[in-house]
A and B are shown apart, each in its own frame.
Chain A
Amino acid sequence: MTDVLFVAEHRRGDLRDVSYEGISAGRGLADALGGELHVAVISGEVEAFAESLNTPEVDTIHTVDAGEEFDHDTYAAATEALHAALDPTALLLPNSVNGLDYAPAVADSLGLPYATDAVDMAYDDGLTVTREMYGSKVETTVDVAGDQYVVSIRGGEWPAADGAGDAEITSFDFDESSVDDGARVQGFEEVGGGDVDISEAEFLVSIGRGIEEEENLDLIRDLCDATGATLSSSRPIVDNGWLPKNRQVGQSGKQVTPKVYLAIGISGAVQHVAGMKGAETIIAINTDPNAPIFDIADYGIVGDLFDVVPALIEEFN
């Protein structure tokens, strides 16, 4: 019992990045434990997924042919059955939206300690998980008691595994009649269409909580008019109904890769950064010099947007 089991994630025919990152996280932990890395892929085109996941880090891949898309009851039942069969020390799952929808149930059913949203892990006679609190303002280490545990891992924190491996690929059957049918996926819908596609913009001016009031958005619109930029925002602005969903940059919004991303009054929460870190040049204006946005910015102004933005508009008028 020194092995690690990681469950990959896919959606609508594609493996998600966290599937390859989880392999790296799993390999690191398996090496520390002196065990093997097992990867499971559940539902969909499992054979094709297994080929893709067959990287040098993986020892065994378990394919579970059950349904097409994520269904939390199927995932929970299959994962619990795999856990019973393999008895791994660590079960790793993505801390994705779908991970949030089944990992807690699995940990609870197995009766195991559960550490969520890990950004790092270390093993030395026991597992220590690094995670963030208070909106990423502090980092913590947490010791996890017990001989077995469940950890959900944050996407983007480990390098993605790649290359061709020679893992054993094996089909895993479990009792599908045990799967509950109380929550039924009816379909998917793309959201955030609308008149503007911010993912096509070359220059995005993006606004966050720092704007304080809806009326103040006019100031940012003036800046966009003066510079020809396209207006986008972080989540709270859309949650408040101040801008439509198609303007939201982030994990649950659009992924953008403009030439310049000017983040105004945006602190840089991990969910937002996931959507814009691919920008060629990132510029931040924020009053808080410790705001995480400055960690990824190329240029920054520590200052009040209500002073800086009017001065910037003046530069172009």
Chain B
Amino acid sequence: MKILVTVKEVAAVEDDFEIDGLSIDERYLEYDLNEWDDYAVEAAVQIAENADEEVEVVAATIGPERSEETIRMALAKGADRAVRVWDDAIAEQTLFDVDAKVSVFEQVVADEEPDLVLTGVQAADDAFGATGVALANRVGYQWAAVVNDLDYAAGDETATVRRELEGGVEEITEVDLPAVLSIQTGINEPRYASLRGIRQAQQKEIAPHDLSDLGLDAAAVDGALELTEMYEPESESDATIFEGGAEETAAELADVLREKGVVGE
């Protein structure tokens, strides 16, 4: 069987940063594998490792050449190969919206014909939280969103998942395959890439595709959402901030705790 994992290189922003027009100045960004996708990769690799049959894990990403460094992390952790899609038409988008992403991944699914697709619940940067379910709908797969427990063995025709609802309640759902599952953090413990894994990843294929390779044209990724402003949210803080060294501020905090009556003298 084949498992496709969608992965994304996302930018983390430093505590102090500056906005340059409609983006954060590059100096304040640090790139990494999207946290949710890391758990999705681990879930896929665990299925492959525990399987009695051959399971191929393919990582698919939409990102510029720079992102190959990050995608190699997924390969180092056990994905067999990767597909990377990029195109000038994608680079021109101010905000690469859900429909555009799904149009690209729809073609990747058509090429790869996976039995199971795992995605992260959301990406840490644009935070749409919609690609997995929209993709499932587009390609006619079943789906489940915000999965924090997965009971599935390679070759099974159904997966039993737990969906993490608000307020400490989980929904248990049985999903037929082929399916797309969006994976929540905490579902497993993502492994660190071993040195051996990192070395092996250098030999694995990251196949670059542009839109025409996928039978698409620029119109397919011409999204309906346009980013028009980016700014730091105004602080609404009216907190009393204790100034000074650790001992001084701790003493003031201790006084508050005593005043509130939650700690004895």
| Bound-complex Cα distance A245 to B168 (A) | 9
Q: How far is the CB of A282 from chain B (nearest CB, A)?
A: 8
Complex interface: chain A residues within 8 A of B241 (CB) = 294, 299-302
Please measure, in the bound complex, the distance between the C-alpha atom of A72 and the C-alpha atom of B176, giving whole angstroms. Answer: 14
B94-118 Cβ-contact flags toward A at 8 Å (1 or 0): 0101110010000000000000000
Q: Is B88 an interface residue (CB 8 A)?
A: no
Given the known inter-chain contacts A229-B262, A235-B186, please indicate yes or no for A138 contacting B225, CB distance below 8 A.
Answer: no
A315 interface contact, C-beta 8 A:
yes
Chain A residues with CB under 8 A of B245: 307
A229: which B residues are within 8 A, CB to CB?
A: 262-263
B127-155 CB mask vs A (1 if < 8 Å, else 0) is: 11111111011100011111000000000
Q: Would you call A142 and B168 a contact (CB within 8 A)?
A: no
A14 to B225, CA, bound (A): 34
Interface range, B side: 35 or more
Question: Are the CB atoms of A134 and B11 closer together than 8 Å?
Answer: yes
Chief secondary structure at chain B's binding surface: mixed
Q: Which of B79-87, B199-207, B208-216, B229-237 contacts A (4 or more CB under 8 A)?
A: B229-237
Is A97 touching B145 in the complex (CB atoms < 8 A)? Answer: yes
Which A residues are CB-close (under 8 A) to B16? 290
Q: Which residue of B is nearest A18, CB measured? A: B166
Given contacts A103-B130, A183-B142, contact A294 B235 (CB under 8 A): yes
Contacts A107-B98, A142-B225, A143-B228 given; does A295 touch B133 at CB 8 Å: no
* Option from B98, B144, B165 in Cβ contact (under 8 Å) with A252: B165
Chain B hits for A145, CB < 8 A: 224-226
**Interface contact A105-B225, CB-CB below 8 Å:** no
Q: A139-B233, A142-B228 are in contact. Are A253 and B168 (CB under 8 A)?
A: yes
Residue of A nearest to B144 (CB): A183
Q: Is residue A67 contacting chain B, with contact meaning CB distance below 8 A? A: no
B146 and A113 form a contact (CB under 8 A): no
Using Cβ atoms and an 8 Å threshold, which residues of chain A touch B167? 251-252, 254-255
Whether the Cβ atoms of A295 and B236 lie closer than 8 Å is yes
A312 contacts chain B at the CB level, 8 A cutoff: yes
The contact string, 1 if C-beta is below 8 Å from chain A, for chain B 156-169, is: 00001011111111
